[in-house]
Structure 1
């Protein structure tokens, strides 16, 4: 995600999730700053920390390992996050009906 997209779409109460192997990508650092300016929270999934992105974001998970291993772990975490959202949405839908 890049700062222009965050500026255009992020609002207070949103969460912007940023993935970086190094935690040093300038475009993601700018996106985290844009999220903060918009009143959104930022979560980082990065390689080993601390790094600039983990320091800048509200919450972070820094994964030790080599680039490809970090990316594989990020994929697992994103799938788990999506599964949790899916579970929560289904529970709310069931409670509302």
Structure 2
């Protein structure tokens, strides 16, 4: 087991080091988020499973605080209202659980951060499409292929892995960078 532990850690370390190659895209995503917030907009997050948990985590970093004491920033996870999720899922289908919430809450100039390790989750892809149609900026967090989201997002942050646990670990690291840079820019 120790050999496997070391191999896992080495793979994780290599992936995190490779995130540096995404610096221009991370900067672009950060700038989109800062602009939205400065203009009175909000940041919405969505994803399934572990990505749903990451969506909630990152929204909380904005609404509460990341590292700096500051006023709360408008971030919302589209994964938390079980009444909306179950009503929309029951009445329209699971593919619509995020897109209908984007349609209800999104405004031109807002940002949707869409998380999908494959980039192909039908409900996330549908939310991305709805957001784009509404003039909402879309930042995607995917694995290295980008899936369907690669061609749909304004900025698609394709982390360098095809292994779901590694992708999710890197997504939260990228999310922390985004929240940290946004926080710094808006506290100045």
TM-score range, shorter chain: 0.7 to 0.9
| Equivalent in the alignment of 2:111 | 15
| Equivalent in the alignment of 1:95 | none
Deviations 1:57-90 (A, max 9, x none): 1111111221000000000011111111110111
The question of 1:25 aligning with 2:109 is answered no
| Equivalent in the alignment of 2:137 | 41
**Structure 2 contact 118–146 (Cα < 8 Å) conserved:** no
The question of 1:81 aligning with 2:178 is answered yes
Name the SS for the 1:8 alignment partner.
helix
Question: In proportion to residue count, which structure has more strand?
Answer: 1
Q: Distance in 2 between matches of 1:86 and 1:46?
A: 23
The question of 1:53 aligning with 2:149 is answered yes
> Which structure: larger Rg?
2
Deviations 1:19-46 (A, max 9, x none): 1100000001100011012111101010
Q: Distance in 1 between matches of 2:174 and 2:103?
A: 25
Unaligned 5+ segments in structure 2 are 1-45, 47-97
Q: Distance in 2 between matches of 1:80 and 1:43?
A: 14
Cα RMSD (Å): 1.0
Please state how far the C-alpha of 1:50 moved relative to its aligned partner: 4.0
Between 68-77 and 6-15, the greater mean CA deviation after superposition: 6-15
Q: Distance in 1 between matches of 2:148 and 2:133?
A: 17
- Runs (4+) of structure 1 exceeding 6 A deviation are none
Q: Distance in 1 between matches of 2:118 and 2:146?
A: 10
- How many pairs were matched up? 91
The alignment's TM-score, normalised by the length of structure 1, stands at 0.88
The alignment's TM-score, normalised by the length of structure 2, stands at 0.47
